Amino acid sequence: MSKSREYDAIVVGGGHNGLVNGAYLAKAGLKTLILERRHLVGGAAITEELVPGFHFTTFSYALSLLRPDIIHELDLVKHGFMPILMASSFAPMENGDYLLLGPDSDENIHEIARHSRHDADAYERYEHDMARVCHAVKPLFDKVPPNLFGKSPEDLEGMADLASHLRGVEPKVMHDLIRLATGSAADFLDDYFESDIVKGYLASSGIIGTKVGPFSQGSGLVLLYHSMGEHDGNFGAWAFHKGGNGGFTQVLARAAQAYGAEILLESPVDTVITREGKAVGVALGDGTELKADIVVSALDPRRTFLELVEPRELPAELVENINRLRFQGTSAKVNFALDGLPKYPALGDRSDQYRGFVNMGPSMEYLERAFDDAKYGWYSKRPYIDGAIQSVVDPDMAPPGKHVMSCFVQYAPYHLKGSDWDTERERFADTVQATLESFFPGFGDLVLHREIVTPLDIERVVGLSEGNIFAGEFFAPQMYFFRPAPGWSQYRTPIDGYYQCGSGTHPGGCVIGAPGKLASQQILRDRSTKG
Amino acid sequence: MIRTTPFYERLDPMNRTGLYGHWSGYLSALKYDMSAKDEYFAIRNSAGLFDTSPLFKYWIRGKDAERFLAGVLTRDIRLCRPGRAQYTVWCDDGGYVLEDGVFFRHSETEFFLTAARPNLGYLADLVGRLDVQIEDVSEDFGVLAVQGPRSRDIVATLTPDVAELPYFGLRQTKIGSAPVTVSRTGYTGDLGFEIYVGTDDAIPVLDAVLEAGAGRGLRPFGEEALLMARIEAGLVLIDVEFGSSRLAFNDHERITPKELGFGWMLRGIEADDRPFIGRNAIRRELAEKTSRWAMVGLLVDWQHYARLYNDAGLIPPKDETPLSYESMLYDDDGNRIGYATSLMYSPMLQRHIAMARVRPDCATLGARVNLEVTINHEYQTVGAEVARLPLFNPSRKTA
């Protein structure tokens, strides 16, 4: 590698937001380099063939939040973008019964009525109300947040636009939005439903990735966030990308390369080189220096501000804010290669219940008790599990007749009291498998291989601090104007030419792409202003 | 009394919806599961199975069969060698399309025709003194379409000799002990095969296909998924993109092969000495450029579409169910320039697409047209770009 290579822009980190950012910059004509520490791009959105024929979505495992604009603007369909419908949601219960929701809303009415006639029509109202809130919030996901603290004409105009948009939102929708943004999932759901299984199933979306229980204030925000995703125009619907989320990030990589971006694997960045308050390039772990006037960090805020650059060169208040940013990952995964489909006794030989998520969180109380363990520094004795037998949706994920099952598990706090994850990993996985066994008798006999991913693994392998899957908790004080820190929510940093585009910026985590895209808009706008 | 196909007794228990349409007098599943979109993804990502038995089927045999068909069909059947199939239309002497169908050439003198509508009377009346025998065998065969990226693996498990079958090739072979014809054809625009089996052997062959497809994602799909796939594939449908000229009240209801997008079938007919029904009219149409329409694909401007609905306070609908009515097309001055015959949201292409008929001068690839949509009970237009059909055309289809 030449020591004098120069680029217009260097993106640090080939996760999905880094790829999106690099693709947009390259599309705008910038000579762009994307640097990835590992042997493959994708960050937390990768698919790995860990056992011959069995493809595991090691970390992130489904697609919904991805902004639809990005699909077209980056011409992703041409490069193989293919989100496959996840047609069902299956929620087993501890008494052997279940809630099985499918693509026919009228059939769902009867299924919900089995558990509560009252909830059958409540479900329709709930979905409608959520869709209205999502529709009102959606424009905020697709724009750089205004700077609440700025006084420039641009900042004032941004605030005026926001105020104008919010004034257009109907009072009921606005009230629902505030209740979700500040309250608990339980309070919101209690207004609609009486059935434990219905509430448990819905409340699960209010805890994913976050150190809250459904009764905690703040779980409403997580619930809203997960409802913001869409599949082909349906809010809250999820898809499975062909080949998993690794299949998706390969599509992104091809798109970025087609626009001329260069991707370098196994190239960890050690430092962002600055000169008199300006970014001038990066230094790799092996000492190689690469020059660019624009450097974009797709890493999380802690790494962006405290590791890639010298915190001593940053404003003290920013450093203080980043230091107190909450990460505290609480999620883990156990992925299985299976010899066949699990049997659910109440459904006999049926298998159509596996065309989507398998949600093992049968009541809000179940979820809250799982959270209780985490509050005191331990993983749940009976965890919440979001399973997905992805080979049912995409048979190419496993050999004929065999299956892969992704299991997202909560709670698994990064900091364990009196032990550590390397000590506990097998015992933790046994706990998860025992929980699965309790819902699916005989599950253990099907297991050919299991992959354990603890919060520590997430941190070590992907680089997400404390294993937080969103690159920073989804807490109201860490969102929008304040993501990742007050005054720095517009993808810029105090260092001229140094930008941030990871999930730790608005609108945050999941496979969403928006931070990557919005950061590129900011970079291109700044570049044109500078002439 | 409505009829059932030879596969019905096995497929009916797999139909969880109980939804059937009536197709040519037979029960035909609209969908087997609650989501036609789910079945559609089987066609595009693994494999789907469709019971296409209600098609009308004919043997056309005899020393003069080729000569006879060459004089009836618009596309030159003489170019179709034994072991190959050919999609074609036939026209009236005004050069308007009567119908379409697929001819499977089994030997020099034996052709097998599948068509959407009955044709025995029409064809038989044209035989004259030629040595041609036409036999209606519609009820003697069941037809299974196995379509999708994994269809080759599945069918080749049962009869390995079809693995090398070229696009529109056919082969007589066996599945188990049952004699079958397997062709590399279909109506989905994907890699796919059709299996023709005698009625008595239908169930064992279906069972063998289902067994071969187990664990490979094979599932039956109904008409709804088929109709999504065929629009992406740019395949015309009788009574949607065209109707039989013989049954038309006026020329608005008629269409020529050129207008229907089949200019490729007409290559060389100016110089060719083959007389066929409608040739003179078609030659005139081509020479004088009197075609009224051009068949095109449309890609709807996704940004404009989203903006129209968002501005109206609505979530932009993305419904994969094809619209069952025509949607008008306008130029920028508000003049009507054509209409979309089939319009849907394509999950594969992630945008609304259409098959459309526009004035030939508006058919330039990339040209912008304005498509009528109804939003808040009012007509509005959304921009769309003229594109080449088929809009979805994976290399595996012909590879």
- Last residue within a domain, chosen from B189, B212, B232: B232
Domain contains B158:
yes
Decide which of B187, B208, B232 is a domain's last residue: B232
Give the list of residues 6+ apart from residue A245 with CB closer than 8 angstroms, or none: A16, A42, A45, A46, A47, A57, A59, A60, A61, A62, A63, A511
Mark which of B213, B232, B251 sits at the end of a domain.
B232
CATH number of the domain where residue B202 is located: 3.30.1360.120
Nearest by CB to A87, from B38, B320, B348: name it: B38
**Which of B38, B302, B310 has the CB atom closest to A72's CB atom?**
B302
Token couple for B356 = 């459309």
Element (H, E) at B247: none
Return the residue of A nearest to B303 by Cα: A69
Q: Is A235 touching B (CB cutoff 8 A)?
A: yes
Chain B positions contacting chain A at CB under 8 Å are: 16, 33-35, 37-38, 41, 44-46, 150, 214-217, 302-303, 306, 310, 315-320, 345, 347-351
Same-domain status, B29 and B153: yes
**Positive or negative, the Cα torsion across A263, A268, A273, A278?**
positive
pLDDT at position B87: 98
Residues 131-160 of A with CB under 8 A from B: 131, 135, 139
The nearest CA of chain A is from the CA of B207 a distance in Å of 17
Task: State how far the Cα of B257 lies from the Cα of B220, in Å rounded to an integer.
Answer: 33
Within a domain: residue B177? yes
Look at the pTM and tell me if it is higher than 0.90: yes
Encode B342-385 in three state secondary structure.
EEEEECCCCEEEEEEEECHHHCCCCCEEEEEEEECCEEEEEEEE
Number of domains in chain B: 2
Band (B324; pLDDT cuts 50, 70, 90)? confident
Which H or E element spans position B53?
none
Q: At a CB cut-off of 8 Å and minimum separation 6, what does A316 contact? A: none
Task: Name chain A contacts of B385, Cβ cutoff 8 Å.
Answer: none
Contact B318 A232 (CB under 8 A): yes
Candidates A66, A77, A129, A169, partner chain B, best to mutate (most B CBs within 10 A) = A77
**Mean pLDDT value across chain B:** 97
Indicate if B222 and B319 belong to the same structural domain.
no
Do B200 and B331 have their domain in common?
A: no
Using a CB-CB distance cutoff of 8 angstroms, which residues of chain B are in contact with residue A87?
33-35, 37-38
B214-266 confidence digits (pLDDT tens) = 989 999 999 999 999 999 999 999 999 999 999 999 999 999 999 999 999 99
In terms of DSSP H, where are the helices of A144-268?
153-167, 171-182, 185-190, 196-203, 219-227, 244-258
Assign 3-class secondary structure to B63-104. Answer: CCHHHHHHHHECCCHHHCCCCEEEEEEEECCCCCEEEEEEEE
Q: Is B37 in Cβ contact with A84 (below 8 Å)?
A: no
pLDDT band at B272 (very low <50, low <70, confident <90, very high): confident
Verify that B42 and B171 share a domain, yes or no: yes
Nearest CA in chain B to A401: B215
Strands A498-500 and A289-297: parallel
Give residue B238's identity as a one-letter amino acid code.
I
Per-residue pLDDT of chain A (531 residues; tens, 9 = 90+): 444 589 999 999 999 999 999 999 999 999 999 999 999 999 999 999 999 999 999 999 999 999 999 999 999 999 999 999 999 999 999 999 999 999 999 999 999 999 999 999 999 999 999 999 999 999 999 999 999 998 999 899 999 999 999 999 999 999 999 999 999 999 999 999 999 999 999 999 999 999 999 999 999 999 999 999 999 989 889 999 999 999 999 999 999 999 999 999 999 999 999 999 999 999 999 999 999 999 999 999 999 999 999 999 999 999 999 999 999 999 999 999 999 999 999 999 888 999 999 999 999 999 999 999 999 999 999 999 999 999 999 999 999 999 999 999 999 999 999 999 999 999 999 999 999 999 999 999 999 999 999 999 999 999 999 999 999 999 999 999 999 999 999 999 999 999 999 999 999 999 999 999 999 999 999 999 875
Residues from chain A contacting residue B216 (CB–CB below 8 Å): 395, 400
Residue B390 and residue B304 share a domain: yes
Q: How confident is the model at residue B342 (pLDDT cuts 50, 70, 90)?
A: very high
Interface test with A, best of B43, B45, B210, B211 (most A CBs within 10 A): B45
Whether residue B313 is contained in a domain is answered as: yes
Closest residue in B to A87 (Cα) is B38
Residue B46: closest C-alpha in chain A: A395
Sign of torsion, CA A393 A397 A398 A400? positive
Same domain, B219 and B299: no
Environment class of residue A388 by beta-carbon count within 10 Å: exposed (0-12), middle (13-18) or buried (19+)? buried
Contact A81 B350 (CB under 8 A): yes
Min Cα–Cα distance to chain A from B320, Å: 9
Q: How far is B274 from chain A (nearest CA, A)?
A: 42
pLDDT tens per residue, range B24-66: 999 999 999 999 999 999 999 999 999 999 999 999 999 999 9
* Cβ–Cβ below 8 Å for B303 and A69: yes
Rounded to whole angstroms, the Cα distance separating B239 from B114 reads 17
Q: Tell me if A233 and B317 make a contact (CB, 8 A cut-off).
A: yes
Asked if B350 lies within 8 A of A104 by C-beta distance, the reply is: no
Residue in B389, B249, A133 with CA at minimum distance from that of residue A125: A133
**Residues of B in Cβ contact (< 8 Å) with A233:** 315-319, 345
A50–chain B nearest CA distance, Å: 20
Collect all residues of chain B within an 8 Å Cβ-Cβ radius of residue A399: 215
CATH (domain of B341): 2.40.30.110
* CB < 8 Å to B16, chain A: 352
| Residues A33 and A50: beta-carbon distance below 8 Å | no
Residue type, A238: W
Q: Are residues B299 and B386 in the same domain?
A: yes
A87 to chain B, any CB pair closer than 8 A? The answer is yes
Residue B268 lies in a domain: no
Nearest chain A alpha carbon to B393: A78
* C-alpha neighbours within 13 Å on the C-beta side of residue A373: 20
Could you tell me the residue range of the domain that residue B26 belongs to?
8-55+139-232
Give the residue on A whose Cα is nearest the Cα of B307.
Answer: A139
Same domain, B328 and B204: no
- For residue A1, what pLDDT is reported? 44
> Does B256 map to a domain?
no
Question: Are A235 and A130 contacting, i.e. CB atoms less than 8 angstroms apart?
Answer: yes
Residues B298 and B217 in one domain: no
Asked if A494 has any chain B CB less than 8 Å from its own CB, the reply is no
Across residues B124-134, what is the average pLDDT?
A: 98
Interfacial A residues in 387-446 facing B (CB < 8 Å): 394-396, 399-402
Contact B34 A102 (CB under 8 A): yes
Q: Do A104 and B320 touch (CB under 8 A)?
A: no
Contacts of B38 in chain A (CB under 8 A): 85, 87, 103, 355
The answer to whether B33 contacts A87, with C-beta atoms less than 8 Å apart, is yes
Alpha-carbon distance of A117 to A47, in angstroms, equals 42
Mutate to test the interface with A, among B16, B17, B19, B34 (most CBs of A within 10 A): B34
Residues listed for chain B: 399
Cβ-defined contact of B34 to A83 (cutoff 8 Å): no
Which of A503, A469, A511 has its CA nearest to residue A66?
A: A511
pLDDT of residue A123: 96
In this predicted structure, the answer to whether residue B166 has a pLDDT above a threshold of 80 is yes
Q: What is the Cα gyration radius of chain A?
A: 23
**Distance to chain A for B349, nearest Cα, Å:** 6
